[in-house]
Amino acid sequence: MILNSGNGFFPVTGSIAFFDDLTMIYNSTSVKTEVTTTESLYLQGNHHIMIQGGKPEDYTFARILDITGRTAWSGPVTSDRIDISGADLKNGIYIVSLTGNSRMLTQKIIVH
């Protein structure tokens, strides 16, 4: 859904749009799509992302995207505690995506 505060073609100067609960849509035949409610990610301080309720060995790579889709940090997953101390994340909303050979987990995190 796209929110517009103009005449349908151009925005009004000074308009602000807020987005929450973004869904990443992708088309990939190489990644097995699974819906699971047992796994979640959460930020521990500003230096670690924790994988809760899942098996970290299912994932090999992590990427953090800012709200514009720019990669803010990326690196390997070696345990359920991912060290992102070098990321220097500013306050805002980020999308964390973990990928592995046959799994993908994507979730929103908020840095305060």
Q: Is the pLDDT of residue 105 over 80?
A: yes
Residues 55-63, mean pLDDT to the nearest whole number: 87
Residues pairing with 17 in the sheet: none
Domains of the chain listed by start with CATH number: 40-111 (2.60.40.3080)
Name the nearest CA neighbour of 67 among 14, 13, 22, 3. Answer: 22
Exposed / middle / buried, residue 49 (Cβ in 10 Å: 0-12, 13-18, 19+): buried
Could you give the CA distance from residue 104 to residue 99 in angstroms, rounded to a whole number?
A: 4
Q: Is the pLDDT of residue 3 over 60?
A: no
Three-state secondary structure call for residue 6: coil
For residue 71, which phi and psi values (nearest 5 degrees)? -70, 115
Q: Is the pLDDT of residue 22 over 70?
A: no
**18-27, 55-64, 95-104: which range is least confident on average?**
18-27
Q: Is the pLDDT of residue 40 over 80?
A: yes
Q: Which pLDDT tens digit goes with each residue over 4-19?
A: 555 566 666 776 666 6
Question: Do residues 22 and 104 touch, judged by C-beta distance below 8 A?
Answer: no
Which pLDDT score is estimated for 101? 81
Which pLDDT score is estimated for 19? 65
Q: Is the pLDDT of residue 78 over 50?
A: yes
Helical spans, DSSP H, in the chain: none
State if pTM tops 0.75.
Answer: no
